Amino acid sequence: MARRYDSRTTTFSPEGRLFQVEYALESVNHAGTCVGLRTNTGVLLASEKKTMSKLLEQSSTPEKLWKIDKHIVIAVAGLNADAMILVNFARLVAGQYKARYGLPIPVENLVQELGDHMQGYTQFGGLRPYGVAFLFAGWQGGFQLYQSEPSGNFSAWKAAAIGASHQAARSILKTEYSEGLDISEAKGIVSKVLQKTMDCMSLTEDKVEMVYLSYNELNGEVELERILL
Amino acid sequence: MDVVFGFVGYDFAVLVADRAATQQIIVQKSDEDKIAVVDGTKIMATSGPRGDCVAFAEYVAANVRLYRLKYQHELDVKATAHYARNELATALRKGPYQVNALLAGVDANGPELYFMDYLATCHRVNTGGHGYGGMFCLSLFDKHWVPNMSRAQAMELVDLCVAEVCERLVTAPTEYLVKIVDKKGVEVIEYDATERLAKRREVQMQAREAARQAAARVGA
């Protein structure tokens, strides 16, 4: 029976649900875990890389972390192909804002624009929603961490997790998080979260991507640093 | 032949514009407001054909308002100036808006003044002016403008500028509007040059007379 309401993204089920949006969320929940943590000097983003084969050519570009502008990085959980379209869109939006107002785009503006775009596919004309959730790390006078969902919803966090076993990750973050963490403490927490949520025995370098976004007071520039385990 | 000028002070910025709407040699109106309020903390004085000025000021103000409604925060003065300049630059190749503008505002970075002309020049300045009237003011700004001026000092400088314009410009208007913007909002002062300059001259005469008498007493 479910099929009657499944095939159209824009049709509510009798219980008032949009199945396609929920399925999109489901595809996010099967993707590698992404964790974000705000510290007093920056934002740490980490994601689980699902390495498939040792025959696979190691690419130098990251799989799940993307730079949108000088001051924004995002972590992706979900369908990578969908994510790349949205990454392109986000870069376009950031560039257009810069051209229009001469300033880097405020993180919330970008998240909102992306949310509006993603929401469109839960309402209009027979296309499926994006099967992607994001964590946004950015700097705009202070550090920000946002999360967005396939439905177009977004929210701001001090620490957040998306992807597979994000609920477990979230509960660990809840107990471990405290105000005014420094980078090494944050790294410890993130490693612990990934260790617990990944279904492997040991956490190794090739399974994790980590980036730390911080602000350099001296030259007024946002710095992105690749963090190793 | 609009007279438009402005400058920044300690925690505020001042814009001054005359109130005459003219068409060639005819004064059509003498209570025109040439300083548009873009939002609570930003004002823009415009010079040029009134139609273009009003259209441009309203367009900028409406878009700044739209931005605030859409993103729940306000644009910086810098961003507003960049946006307005961009609109002038776009219009330049298909129109253009024949508008020279001064945009003043206060945000977290303090008071700022931006000079813009219809060719889409945009500079952040401490003092600026448009038209012949504005040019007369420039040398006065060079001599009398100092950083962090108080409101009293600012009004003193406005008096000097208007006095100069009234003395040197053939078609000097007598009615002006002074708008002072700070982080709390916009203050509007109606400025009648004839009245105000007469009062000023009287005070100067009295001071000169007092000085002369003092000198005479020392001499005796």
* Interval B7-17: pLDDT, tens: 999 999 999 99
Check pLDDT > 70 for residue A169: yes
Chain B residue with minimum CA distance to A110: B71
Q: Which fold has domain A2-50+63-226?
A: Glutamine Phosphoribosylpyrophosphate, subunit 1, domain 1 (3.60.20)
Q: DSSP letters of A153-164?
A: -EEE-SEEEEST
> CA-to-CA distance for A206 and A46, rounded, in angstroms?
12
The pLDDT assigned to B214 comes to 92
Across B179-185, average pLDDT: 96
Q: Which amino acid is at A107?
A: V
Q: Which amino acid is at A191?
A: S
Residues near B169 by beta carbon (within 8 Å), at least 6 away in sequence: B3, B132, B133, B136
CA B26 to chain centre: 23
B63 or A50: whose pLDDT is higher?
A: B63
Please judge whether B75 and A109 are an interchain contact, meaning their C-beta atoms are less than 8 angstroms apart.
no
Task: Tell me the two tokens of residue A170.
Answer: 């979230």
The pLDDT assigned to A140 comes to 92
Residues near B82 by beta carbon (within 8 Å), at least 6 away in sequence: A100, A101, A102, A103, B122
Interface membership of B82 toward A (CB under 8 Å): yes
The pLDDT assigned to B106 comes to 97
The pLDDT assigned to A204 comes to 80
Check pLDDT > 80 for residue A61: no
- pLDDT tens track for B76-114: 999 999 999 999 999 999 989 999 999 999 999 999 999
- pLDDT tens track for A82-91: 999 999 999 9
Cα-based angle B183, B186, B188 (whole degrees, multiple of 5): 150
> CA-to-CA distance for B104 and B7, rounded, in angstroms?
8
Write the CA distances from A205 to A57, A75, A137, A210, B13, integer angstroms.
16, 17, 22, 10, 56
Mean pLDDT for all residues in chain A = 89
Check pLDDT > 80 for residue A2: no
Task: Tell me the two tokens of residue A1.
Answer: 């029976």
The CATH number given to B4-193 is 3.60.20.10
Confidence band, pLDDT 50/70/90 cuts, at residue A6: low
Across A97-109, average pLDDT: 96
Task: Tell me the two tokens of residue B140.
Answer: 């006065």
Q: In chain A, where are the structural domains located?
A: 2-50+63-226
* Minimal CA separation from B123 to chain A, in Å: 13
Check pLDDT > 70 for residue A7: no
Check pLDDT > 90 for residue B53: yes
Check pLDDT > 90 for residue B200: no
* Minimal CA separation from A169 to chain B, in Å: 31
The pLDDT assigned to A44 comes to 95
Q: Which of B162, B189, B163, B161 is nearest to B177 (CA)?
A: B189
- When CB atoms are compared, the residue of A102, A108, A112 closest to B79 is A102
Q: In chain B, where are the structural domains located?
A: 4-193
Task: Tell me the two tokens of residue B177.
Answer: 């509007």
Please judge whether B82 and A100 are an interchain contact, meaning their C-beta atoms are less than 8 angstroms apart.
yes
Task: Tell me the two tokens of residue B56.
Answer: 């441009």
Across A129-158, average pLDDT: 95
Check pLDDT > 80 for residue A60: no
Check pLDDT > 70 for residue B198: yes
> CA-to-CA distance for A160 and A171, rounded, in angstroms?
10
> CA-to-CA distance for B143 and B37, rounded, in angstroms?
29
Write the CA distances from A146 to A39, A44, A60, A78, B152, integer angstroms.
14, 12, 26, 16, 47
Confidence band, pLDDT 50/70/90 cuts, at residue A5: low
